[in-house]
Structure formats: structure tokens, C-alpha cells
């Protein structure tokens, strides 16, 4: 479901991480990013399948058609682009909100924008 980068690409990037000299600031930074990437992959393995299934369920209703996630997501993008669906349509926004929350729970659960969104009645 998640691309740019996919879990496969992240795994490949992790394989390329080499330990730097002790005390090196750049190496320490890279090590922290790598830890973060491993944690992201773990969350994606745990939460990704349910998030994708939920998205497919919402998209089938919103678009009134069948298909896998890639097909339905591409269809939603196309309809938003050409105006068949409008950005502030409550049904569209509800799907966008649910998807964004699910993806952020994987990518960056500590991001404060989640709290800001949840504070909105």
C-alpha cells in the first residue's frame, strides 16, 4: 500500500547501511535513521495489511466499484484530478482522513499533526 519508498526499498536501503567510526556525528545520525527505518518496517508489517483492507473497503463504497488497492486508489486519484470527485466532499474527506491516520501510524506515529486532527471535533 505504501510507496515512495516501499517496504522492499527500505529493506534494501537498510542493507546498505555501514557502521561508521565511533564518535562520528554523521555515522551516529545515520544509525538513528536506520533504527527509525527498522521500527517503521515493524509497524508496517503489523498494521499495513489491516490498513490496506480497510482502505479497500472504504474505496469500494466511495467509488462504487470493485478492485484491489492499487486499482481503486488510482481511480480515486483520477476522479479527484478530473473533478468527478471534489476535494471537500465529506465522503472523500472521510476516506482521506482515515487513510492519512493509518499511514502516519506506520510512518511517524509521534507526529503532532495527529493530535491536531483529533482535536478537531
Give residues in contact with other proteins (CB under 8 A): 2-5, 9-10, 13-14, 16-17, 29-30, 33-34, 36-37, 40, 73-74, 76-77, 80-81, 83, 86-88, 90, 92-93, 95-97, 99-101, 103-104, 107-108, 111-117, 120
Minimal distance, residue 77 CB to other proteins, in Å: 5
Minimal distance, residue 22 CB to other proteins, in Å: 19
Minimal distance, residue 66 CB to other proteins, in Å: 18
Q: Using CA of residue 4, residue 6, residue 8, residue 14, what is the dihedral sign? A: positive
Q: Closer CB to other proteins, residue 56 or residue 114?
A: 114
- Here the cell at position 105 is 501510524
- Here the cell at position 40 is 517503521
Amino acid at each position: 500500500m505504501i510507496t515512495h519508498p516501499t517496504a522492499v526499498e527500505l529493506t534494501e536501503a537498510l542493507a546498505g547501511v555501514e557502521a561508521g567510526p565511533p564518535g562520528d556525528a554523521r555515522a551516529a545520525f545515520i544509525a538513528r535513521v536506520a533504527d527509525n527505518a527498522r521500527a517503521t518496517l515493524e509497524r508496517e508489517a503489523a498494521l499495513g495489511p489491516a490498513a490496506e483492507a480497510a482502505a479497500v473497503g472504504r474505496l469500494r463504497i466511495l467509488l462504487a466499484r470493485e478492485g484491489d488497492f492499487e486499482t481503486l486508489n488510482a481511480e480515486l486519484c483520477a476522479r479527484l484530478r478530473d473533478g468527478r470527485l471534489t476535494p471537500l466532499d465529506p465522503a472523500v474527506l472521510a476516506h482521506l482522513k482515515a487513510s492519512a491516520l493509518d499511514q502516519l501510524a506506520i510512518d511517524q506515529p509521534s507526529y503532532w499533526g495527529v493530535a491536531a486532527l483529533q482535536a478537531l471535533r
